[in-house]
Amino acid sequence: MSRTAPLKMTPDEFRAAGHRLVDRIAERLARIPQGPVKPAETPEDLRAALKIDRPLPEGGADAATLLGEAVELLFDHSTLNGHPRFLGYITSSPAPIGILGDFLAAAVNPNIGGYAIGPAATEIERQTVRWIAEFIGFPSDAGGLLVSGGNMANFVGFLAARAAKAGLDVRKTGLAGRERAKSPLLVYASAETHTWIQKATDLFGLGTDAIRWIPADDHQRMKTAELRRQIELDRKNGGHPFIVVGTAGSVSTGAVDPLPEIGSICREYDLWFHVDGAYGALAARIPDVPADLRALSEADSVAVDPHKWLYAPLEAGCVLVRNPLDLRNAFSYHPPYYVLRDDVVNFVDYGLQNSRGFRALKVWLALQHIGRTGYEASIADDIRLSQKLAAALRAHGDFDVLTQNLSITTFRYVPKDLRSRLGEASVEERLNQLNRDLLAEVEKSGEAFFSNAVIDGRFVLRACIVNFNTTDEDIDALPALVARLAEKRMAY
Ligand SMILES: Cc1ncc(COP(=O)(O)O)c(C=O)c1O
């Protein structure tokens, strides 16, 4: 008896639905610049449009119709990071070849936990990791793998460090017990470090008290004299320093820590040197970026996100570990139900995941699609546009630009009548509220999208350009646009 499988589509049905889907997507992508970055609607409006209270459908529906409706719903009701004026967070516009790559990856559907169930995909992931290492100037024989994003990439580096430097068999004994109480494992990171470090120390058993927050200087860079002082003090008191995190492009302002000094301190005290380059590492070889970025090549591990500055559609993070054995030593187990060849890479031995999807394909295709020089030009252009924005905001007169690093500009609106009173507590409070409101006003307008930072207590708007759709015209328009929205807000 032949099986009736309702999920199946005939090749002709698949082809027709797919062609129609690609046509609709191409059309909606082309129209993005004419529409809002974010639709003006409440969560209730959105839920109503999605008919979110519907019960689970009992029977089936036509695939092409469903896909057609989904395209319209999603493009009408999403915050579109492919919009030229999406400058929020550090989330890139999606590379078109990456969009198609994800489609192809799902069609082949390899599981890249084990070589046998994803041989081509495993080799492609290895090549992608090597190319990323090459692109940022990290040794190309390093180990590494793709993960979901910056948090996970940093977690992998952190866990490799923990296994290598804990000074006890931490994978077996854990951190509880006498060893920990006598000599706690300690982590060093600047106060500007992304919050992944809190999650890592919390989730992997050290607790957030294990973090030694090293103060940053006026340029948001770790004070390495403080780092050294703290390490010395902790050692004297019986602590067990094991990792220092340097940031290559901080989440708030794009600041680059003094990586050469951090590297040499790590060597001196035999500590693991991890670089969080989730955002900035991909700019390491671009002319005129801070020279310190290049010293990420000295790290034991680096987190670097293709879904940031390689413009890969979400999700794609990557971790590189100088010695591939450190990954195996942190993650590998060999249960009897997995018989894996040992003359090849089985990625299950190298990270947190067991079953793993084909994230590498979209990155691998994009790296070939525009090549090293294409990427270098695009990243350099993002940086140029960010510098241009900072200059335009300064020239406008109603804004203070607080920082400009890599492709992040932070700024705040300062009404003329408050300009002479900057620094007064009540004025600073008013400015913080005004700029908080302004951020919401910009978002509501749909005309642009920023995120925020807080710098020395000052609430600022933050424009991060990891967006190959943003043009000079967009940048030219922004100061007047934001000033208009600020005036509108003040008139409420
Ligand atoms: C420096 C830095 N590290 C880590 C992360 C976390 O990355 P993800 O959101 O991909 O997990 C970010 C996110 O912006 C970041 O800027």
Find out whether the beta carbon of 317 lies less than 6 Å from any atom of ligand 1. Answer: yes
Which residue reads 């390490």 in tokens?
Answer: 231
Q: How far apart are CA 52 and CA 455, in angstroms?
A: 40
CA of 315, closest atom in ligand 1? 10
User: Residue 410 class from Cβ within 10 Å (0-12 exposed, 13-18 middle, 19+ buried)?
Assistant: buried
Cα 151 to ligand 1 centre (Å): 6
How many A from CA of 448 to the centre of ligand 1? 22
Q: Which atom of ligand 1 is nearest to the CA of 248?
A: 1
Rounded to the nearest whole angstrom, what is the distance from the C-alpha of residue 196 to the centroid of ligand 1?
8
Nearest protein CA to atom 7 of ligand 1, as residue: 150
Per the listing, tokens 């999700």 go with 315
Residue nearest (by alpha carbon) to ligand 1 atom 14: 90
Question: How many CB atoms neighbour CB 73 within 10 A?
Answer: 14
Distance 217 CA to ligand 1 centre (A): 21
151 lines ligand 1 (CB under 6 A): yes
Establish whether residue 150 lines the binding site of ligand 1, counting it when its CB lies within 6 angstroms of any ligand atom. yes
Ligand 1 center to 173 CA (angstroms): 31
Cβ of 155 closer than 6 Å to ligand 1, yes or no, is: no
For residues 101 and 366, what is the distance between their CA atoms, to the nearest angstrom?
9
324 Cβ inside 6 Å of ligand 1: no
Of 437, 460, 463, which is closest to residue 449 (Cα–Cα)? 463
Q: Hey, how many other C-beta atoms are within 10 angstroms of the C-beta on 189?
A: 26
Whether residue 251 has its Cβ less than 6 Å from ligand 1:
yes
**Residue 179: per-residue pLDDT:** 56
Rounded to the nearest whole angstrom, what is the distance from the C-alpha of residue 279 to the centroid of ligand 1?
Answer: 7
Pocket probe mutation, ligand 1, options 89, 90, 282, 406, max atoms within 8 Å of Cβ:
90
Cβ-based neighbour number of residue 340 at 10 Å:
15
State which of 194, 352, 451 you would mutate to test the pocket of ligand 1, scoring each by most atoms of that ligand within 8 A of its C-beta.
Answer: 194
Interatomic CA distance for residues 306 and 360, integer angstroms = 10
List per-residue pLDDT tens for the chain, 492 residues long.
Answer: 788 898 999 999 999 999 999 999 999 999 999 999 999 999 999 999 999 999 999 999 999 999 999 999 999 999 999 999 999 999 999 999 999 999 999 999 999 999 999 999 999 999 999 999 999 999 999 999 999 999 999 999 999 999 999 987 888 888 875 355 578 999 999 999 999 999 999 999 999 999 999 999 999 999 999 999 999 999 999 999 999 999 999 999 999 999 999 999 999 999 999 999 999 999 999 999 999 999 999 999 999 999 999 999 999 999 999 999 999 999 999 999 999 999 999 999 999 999 999 999 999 999 999 999 999 999 999 999 999 999 999 999 999 999 999 999 999 999 999 999 999 999 999 999 999 999 999 999 999 999 999 999 999 999 999 999 999 999 999 999 999 999 998 887
Nearest CA to ligand 1 atom 15: 251
**Residue-level pLDDT at 178:** 38
Cα 345 from chain centroid (whole Å): 26
For residue 255, give both structure tokens: 């600041």
Q: How many CA atoms lie within 13 A of 416 on its CB side?
A: 4
**Separation of alpha carbons 430 and 165, rounded Å:** 48
Q: What is the dihedral of CA 322, 326, 331, 333, to 10 degrees?
A: 130
What's the start-to-end Cα distance of the chain, in Å? 72
pLDDT at 181: 57
Q: How far, in Å, are 444, 447, 483, 492 from residue 40 at the CA level?
A: 6, 10, 20, 19
Does the C-beta of 274 come closer than 6 Å to ligand 1?
Answer: no
For residues 163 and 326, the answer to whether their CB atoms sit within 8 Å is yes
Q: Name the residue type at position 367.
A: L
Instruction: Say if ligand 1 is within 6 A of residue 276 CB.
Output: yes
Euclidean distance between CA atoms 436 and 413, whole angstroms:
10
